[in-house]
Amino acid sequence: MFANPFKLKKLGVLGMNRRNVYCIAEHNDRRKYPLVDNKLKTKILAQEANIAVPKLLGTLSLQSEVRKIEHILKGLNGFVIKPAQGSGGKGILVVTSRKDDLFFKPGGESISFREIKQHISNTLSGLYSLGGKVDVVMIEQLVEFDPIFDKYSFEGVPDIRIILYKGFPAMAMLRCSTKASDGKANLHQGAVGVGIDITTGKALSAVQYNKPVIKHPDTGYDFSELSISHWKNMLELSARCYDMTKLGYLGVDIVIDQYLGPLILELNARPGLAIQIANQKGILKRFERIDTAPAYLTAYERIDFILEQFGKNIQLEFKL
Amino acid sequence: MTSRKYHAIGVAAVIAFIGLFLLYYKVKILGMPFMPDETKTVYRIEAKITFEGMNKPVHVSMALPQEQVGLQVISEEASSSGYGFTKSKTLYGQRAEWAKRRVIGPQTLYYTLELVEQEFVQKSEPEKKHQTRRKKELLLDIPVELQSAAKNLIKDIRWRSADPHSFTAQMIRDFSDKDPSQAVKILLAKSNITKQDMIYHMLRYEGLTVRKINGLYIDESHRNLKLIPLIEVLHKKKWQRFDLEKGKIEKDTHFFVWRRGGESILDVTGAKNSKITFSVNKRQVPSRYLIENKNIIKNSAILDFSLFTLPVSEQNAFRHMLLVPFGALVVVFLRVFVGIRTSGTFMPILIAMAFMETSLIAGVVMFILIVGIGLIIRNYLSMLNLLLVARISAVVIVVIAIMSFMSILSFKLGIEEAMTITFFPMIILAWTIERMSILWEEEGAKEVFIQGGGSLFVAVCAYFVMSNTFIGHLTFNFPEVVLVLLGIIILMGRYSGYRLTELIRFKSLTE
What is the spatial distance between Cα A73 and Cα B268, in angstroms, rounded to a whole number? 80
The Cα B323–Cα B476 span in angstroms is 9
Rg for chain A (alpha carbons), in Å? 20
pLDDT band at A239 (very low <50, low <70, confident <90, very high): very high
Beta strand pairing status for B228-235 and A93-95? unpaired
* Average pLDDT, integer, range A167-172: 92
Nearest CB partner across the interface for A2, out of B389, B442, B504: B504
Q: Closest-CA residue in chain B for A126?
A: B387
Is B282 in the A-facing interface, judged by CB distances under 8 Å? no
The distance from CA B360 to its chain's CA centroid, rounded to whole angstroms, is 16
Q: Are B389 and A277 a contacting pair at CB < 8 A?
A: no
When pLDDT is averaged across residues A272-297 and rounded to a whole number, the result is 89
Residues in chain A: 320
User: What number of C-beta contacts closer than 8 Å exist between A and B?
Assistant: 87
B353 has pLDDT over 80: yes
Percent of chain B with pLDDT over 70: 84
d(CA A180, CA A192): 10
pLDDT confidence of B325, banded at 50, 70, 90?
very high
Q: Which residues contact B370 (CB under 8 A, 6 or more apart)?
A: B399, B402, B403, B406, B421, B424, B429
| Torsion from C-alpha of B135, B141, B144, B150, nearest 10 degrees | -80
Tell me the torsion sign for CA atoms B174, B175, B177, B178.
Answer: positive
Rounded to the nearest angstrom, the gap between the alpha carbon of residue B285 and the centroid of all alpha carbons in its chain is 12
Quick check: B186 pLDDT over 70?
yes
Could you tell me which residues come within 8 angstroms of residue A90 by beta carbon, excluding any fewer than 6 positions away? A83, A128, B442
Q: Distance from A131 to chain B by nearest Cα, in Å?
A: 7
Question: What confidence tens digit (pLDDT) does each residue in B42-56 have?
Answer: 788 888 888 888 888
Give the mean pLDDT of chain B.
80
Question: Is B502 in the A-facing interface, judged by CB distances under 8 Å?
Answer: yes
The domain ranges of chain B are 39-119+264-287, 128-260, 341-476
Please choose, from the candidates B43, B189, B220, the residue with its C-alpha nearest in 3D space to the C-alpha of residue B117: B43
* Chain B residues in contact with A13 (beta carbon < 8 A): 498, 506, 509
SS3 content of chain B, % helix, strand, coil (to 5): 50, 25, 25
Nearest CA-CA distance, residue A8 and chain B, Å: 7
Contact call for residues A227 and A16 (beta carbons, < 8 A): no
List residues in chain A touching B: CB distance below 8 A: 1-5, 7-9, 11, 13, 15-18, 21-22, 26, 88-90, 122, 125-127, 131-132, 186, 189, 207, 210-212, 276-277, 280-282
Closest CA to B256 of B91, B78, B71, B111: B71
Q: What angle do CA B335, B341, B345 make, to 5 degrees?
A: 70
Mean pLDDT of A245-258: 90
Which one has a higher pLDDT value, B304 or B60? B60
- N residues, chain B: 511
CA of A181: which chain B residue's CA is closest? B443
Do the beta carbons of residue B164 and residue B235 sit within 8 Å?
A: yes
Pairing of strands A93-95, B271-286: unpaired
Residue-level pLDDT at B188: 76
| pLDDT level of residue B312 (50, 70, 90 thresholds) | low
What amino acid is encoded at B378 in this protein? R
How far is the CA of A128 from the CAs of A119, A136, B170, B442, in angstroms?
A: 10, 11, 79, 12
DSSP state of B111: E
Give the pLDDT mean for B118-147.
Answer: 60
Chain B environment of A22 (Cβ under 8 Å): 1, 496
Which of B208-217, B224-233, B257-266, B279-288 has the least mean pLDDT?
B279-288
- Does residue B25 carry a pLDDT above 70? yes
- Mean pLDDT over A174-186 rounds to 80
For residue A283, the chain B residue with the least C-alpha distance is: B509
Give, in order, the Cα–Cα distances in Å from B180 to each of B158, B184, B186, B188, B461: 17, 6, 10, 10, 57
- Closest-CA distance, A159 to chain B, in angstroms, reads 19
Look at B335 and B205; give whichever has higher pLDDT.
B335
pLDDT at B227 over 90: no
Say how far apart CA A200 and CA A197 lie, in whole Å.
Answer: 6
3-state secondary structure chain A: CCCCHHHHHHHCCCCHHHHHHHHHHHHCCHHHHHHHHCHHHHHHHHHHCCCCCCCEEEEECCHHHHHHHHHHCCCCCCEEEEECCECCCCCCEEECEEECCEEECCCCCEEEHHHHHHHHHHHHCCCCEHHHCCCCEEEEECCCECHHHHHHCCCCCCEEEEEEECCEEEEEEEEECCCCCCCCCCHHHCCEEEEECCCCCEEEEEEECCEEECECCCCCCEHHHCECCCHHHHHHHHHHHHHHHCCCEEEEEEEEECCCEEEEEEEECCCCCHHHHHHCCCCHHHHHHHHCCCCCCCHHHHHHHHHHHHHHHCCCCCCC
Q: What is the mean pLDDT of chain A?
A: 85
Chain A nearest-CA distance from B428, in A, is 15
Helix, coil or strand: residue B193: coil
Indicate the domain borders of chain A.
Answer: 11-36+147-313, 55-141
Q: Which DSSP state fits B122?
A: P
For B202, the 3-state DSSP assignment is helix
The answer to whether residues B267 and B231 touch, using CB atoms and an 8 Å cutoff, is no
Which residues are CB-neighbours of B274 under 8 A, at least 6 positions away? B49, B50, B51, B60, B266, B268
Which amino acid, one-letter code, is at B133? R
B3/A contact by beta carbon, under 8 A: no
Cβ atoms of B53 and B103 within 8 Å: the answer is yes
Mean pLDDT of B277-303: 60
Cross-chain Cβ contact B507/A131 below 8 Å = no
Q: Would you say residue B129 has pLDDT above 80?
A: no
3-class SS letters over B446-461: HHHHHHHHHHHHHHHH
Closest residue in chain B to residue A87, using alpha carbons only: B442
**Cα A117 from chain centroid?**
28
Instruction: Determine the pLDDT at residue A156.
Output: 73
Q: Pick from A271, A68, A287: which is nearest to A166 by CA?
A: A287
Confidence of residue A317 (pLDDT cuts 50, 70, 90): very low
Maximum Cα–Cα distance across chain A = 63
What pLDDT band is residue A238 in, cutting at 50, 70 and 90?
A: very high
Q: Kindly give the interhelix angle for B360-383 and B426-443, rounded to the nearest 10 degrees.
A: 60
The CATH class, in words, for A55-141 is alpha beta
* Between residues A218 and A237, the one the model is more confident about: A237
* Closest chain B residue to A213, measured at CA: B508
pLDDT value at residue B296: 45
Residue A171 scores a pLDDT above 90: yes
pLDDT digits (tens, 9 = 90+) for B366-424: 889 889 999 998 888 877 877 777 888 888 898 889 888 888 888 788 776 666 777 78
Chain A positions in Cβ-Cβ contact with residue B505 (cut-off 8 Å): 210, 277
In 3D space, the residue among A155, A180, A308, A175 whose CA is nearest the CA of residue A251 turns out to be A175
**Could you tell me which residues come within 8 angstroms of residue A320 by beta carbon, excluding any fewer than 6 positions away?**
A212, A214
Share of chain A above pLDDT 70, in %: 95
What pLDDT score does B295 carry? Answer: 43
Best CATH choice for the domain A11-36+147-313 from the list 3.40.50.720, 3.30.470.20, 1.10.1740.10, 3.10.300.10: 3.30.470.20
The span from the CA of B377 to the CA of B480, in Å, is: 45
Chain B nearest C-alpha distance from A245 (Å): 22
Alpha-carbon span A179 to A177, nearest angstrom: 7
Residues of chain B contacting residue A16, judged by C-beta atoms under 8 Å apart: 339, 499, 502
The CA–CA distances, whole Å, from B195 to B134, B174, B454 equal: 21, 12, 59
Amino acid at B286: P
Asked if pLDDT for residue A131 goes beyond 80, the answer is no
CA angle B102-B105-B106, nearest 5°?
115
pLDDT confidence bin for B462, thresholds 50/70/90:
very high
Distance set, CA B469 to CA B39, B255, B355, B475, B487 (Å): 11, 28, 15, 10, 23
Give the global pTM.
0.65
Which pLDDT score, from 0 to 100, does residue B132 have?
43
* Own/partner long-range contacts of B121-127 (Cβ < 8 Å, ≥24 apart): B121/B69, B121/B70, B122/B69, B124/B69, B125/B237, B126/B234, B126/B237, B126/B238, B126/B239
User: Are the C-beta atoms of A86 and B388 separated by less than 8 Å?
Assistant: no
Helices (H), B384-444: 388-413, 426-443
- Mean pLDDT along residues A120-135: 80
Could you tell me which of A253, A265, A278 has the C-alpha nearest to residue A192? A278
Per CATH, domain B39-119+264-287 is 3.40.50.300: no
A147: burial class by Cβ within 10 Å (0-12, 13-18, 19+)? exposed
- Any idea what the Cα angle at residue B429 is, between residues B401 and A84, rounded to 5°? 115
Count of CA atoms in the C-beta half-sphere (13 A) of A257: 15
